[in-house]
Amino acid sequence: MVAAETLGATTVICSDKTGTITEGEMKVAEIYTEGDGEEKELTLKIAMLASDARVENPQDNFTDWRLTGDPTEKALIVAALEAGLSGDYLKKEKMLLDEIPFESVNKFMAHLYDGKIGLAGAKAAMKENLIFMKGAPEKILASSERFLKDGHEKKLDPEESRRLRGVYEDFSKRGLRLLAVGYKLAEGRRTKFLEIAEPLSGLTLVGFIGLKDPIRQNVKESLELVRKAGVKVIMITGDNKLTAKTIAEELGFSVALSNILEGEELERMSDEELKRRVQDILIYARVSPSDKLRIVTALKNKGEIVAMTGDGVNDAPAIKRADIGVAVGSASEVTKEVSDMIILDNNFKTIVTAIEEGRGIFDNIKKVVLYLLSDSFSEVFLIVASLLAGFPLPILPAQILWINLVEDSLPSFALAFEPKEKEAMNEPPRKADAPLFDAEMKSVVFAVSVISVIMLLALFYWAMQIYDDISYVRTLVFAGLGINTLFYVFALKSLRKSVFHMDFFSNKYLLAAVGIGLVMLALPLYVPFLQNVLRVQPLGVAEWGIISGIGVVSVLAIEVIKWTFRKMRVETILKS
């Protein structure tokens, strides 16, 4: 509940794209090579073999294989299997000699294989061992000296390099995640990368693979809702900036290239420079987990309340640093341990729902506190005013306890179950240092207390002139104070709406609580035993009408204050 309440005050959400904004179900959408036959087969073969994904049950038919690993890696294996390369996968474990695992800083992975695993077609087996490399297109292209075209290796000159860069940039502009694959003949029969001089340079580029991760349903609507709520959404992705920009525009982001920051540029920035620019950035592309920590820190230093999503072990520091760390259901145990909240369905919409829920929780806390304080201050002011005026006590301690403990307890509990208001998501987040007991609450408490005291003291004075029995006069004040609280609790159901525009039946618990409260107020007036305990007497219909009028006046006073602050909120929103 504490996490949800804090999430309601969130001003910035830093969200991973894959698996949260998108479905996390990668599929190979397109393969680009400089040839139609062997090159595409080799592209998939390298992508499959230079992979960390694993098959849990390789002994079964390949159509029944269960894959584990990163969604991108699994998508590549599925595409390779569909192309009929299952036999090559079965050779993988036996022929793999060494590997350089993927790291977000390096943006590639490389695997060293026995040359018997071969390339494709006529090069089905090689005398030299083979290095297969897969990674970001710009990384593979920069490491390549040749490219494969129609089965032959061609020199990769600057002109061809620019042309191929234009190819993958066109793919990126269509919102595809791009990977490039290449190979290199190892020197002799070396079996370790450490034995090879410059193992990651002098590659032969084979092709590009474009993967598509569908955007989750309702995410665009959720983003629009959260923007209306004054919450800034920052998308963090491992894609390049062109892919990220295309996807962001599909989601309704109004984004220019100046609003996108890539990991390499971020690494060159000092913390002070990042702090100056951080509020202009909507998308972080090609970032590493350590970059996420710097992003969260910079945002917090600008006074933002930050929610951060993540799943990997390396995301844990950023999630812990954020005001609200949100782990997805597939996150590592370390990440879940340091997070404040876990969303089991990995869906961005769930985060938005949690924000709405958090604002509803905070609203209901305010309503309960407001109700209890209005009641308590009315009683205190009533006693103090009567003493200053030289009157006898208008209400006895036992009567006050009855109102507070018996009559008002259930309505205060019921206010906690008030349904959240949709209008809460049309307002900006509350400030981090905003007090619970704000100016509006103070005004309501003061108004209710003063008006109640004036009317109850006037009733007390008037009744003292007419009735000789002080016990009967105190009964009028006791009933008046009780009716007053049961009336104005309806005005406190919402500080955004007038009591005349509310749905009175939206909170059935409150209706039941008020009904029970009325019974508990009337009970001591008409049950002889309780009459003696509380020193009260039965009231007639006329007296009930008088004290009901006190409740109506209190409700009207609250409505005037609500209208004033509602008008001020609208003006503030329009200005912002």
Write the CATH number for 536: 1.20.1110.10
Same-domain check for residues 32 and 49: yes
Residues 208 and 225 in one domain: no
Q: Report pLDDT digits (tens) over 137-184.
A: 999 999 999 999 888 899 999 999 999 999 999 988 888 989 999 999
Last residue of a domain, one of 212, 245, 279: 212
Same domain, 167 and 233: no
Is the domain of 393 the same as that of 490?
yes
Give the CATH number for residue 256: 3.40.50.1000
Name the one residue in this structure whose structure tokens are 């307002």: 427
3-state secondary structure 106-150: CCEEEEEECHHHCCCHHHCCCCCCEEEEEECHHHHHHCEEEEEEC
Tell me: do 381 and 512 sit in the same domain: yes
Number of independent structural domains in the chain:
3
Q: Residue 5's pLDDT is what?
A: 67
- Is 135's pLDDT higher than 90? yes
What CATH number does the domain containing 119 carry?
A: 3.40.1110.10
On whether both 9 and 61 belong to a single domain, the answer is no
| 265-310 pLDDT per residue, tens | 998 999 999 999 999 999 999 888 888 999 999 999 999 999 998 8
Residue 482, pLDDT > 90, answer: yes
The pLDDT of 126-132, averaged and rounded, is 86
Taking only the tens place, the pLDDT of each residue in 538-553 is: 999 999 999 999 899 9
* Residue 485, CA distances (Å) to 69, 481, 482, 497, 544 in order: 60, 7, 6, 19, 15
- What's this model's pTM, rounded to 2 decimal places? 0.80
Residues 293 and 147 placed together within one structural domain of the fold: no
Q: Are residues 13 and 59 in the same domain?
A: no
User: What is the Cα–Cα distance from 47 to 472, expressed in whole angstroms?
Assistant: 91
159 and 245 share one domain: no
Residue 363 sits at the vertex; the CA angle it makes with 483 and 348, to the nearest 5 degrees, is 150
Task: Please write the tens of the pLDDT for every residue from 495-529.
Answer: 888 888 888 889 999 999 999 999 999 999 999 99
Write down which residue in 311, 346, 381 finishes a domain: 346
The answer to whether the beta carbons of residues 178 and 172 sit under 8 Å apart is yes
In this structure, are 188 and 230 located in the same domain?
A: no
pLDDT band at 237 (very low <50, low <70, confident <90, very high): confident
Q: Using the 3D structure, point to which of 212, 234, 261 is the last residue of a domain.
A: 212
Please tell me whether residue 191 adopts helix, strand or coil conformation: coil
Q: Judge whether residue 576 has pLDDT over 70.
A: no
Say if residue 124's pLDDT is above 60.
no
pLDDT of residue 116: 84
532: domain range?
355-575
Same domain, 552 and 432: yes
Average pLDDT taken over every residue of the chain: 88
- Nearest C-alpha neighbor of 455 from the set 551, 373, 550: 550
Q: What is the 3-state secondary structure (H, E, C) of 294-310?
A: HHHHHHHHCCCCEEEEE
Same domain? For 56 and 198 the reply is yes
pLDDT at 126 over 80: no
- How many whole angstroms separate alpha carbon 132 and alpha carbon 499? 70
Mean pLDDT of 427-434: 80
Over residues 471-478, mean pLDDT: 94
Most confident of 125-129, 481-485, 558-562, 572-576: 481-485
Q: Which residues are catalytic?
A: 16
* pLDDT given at position 122: 43
> Which token pair is 355?
């924000």
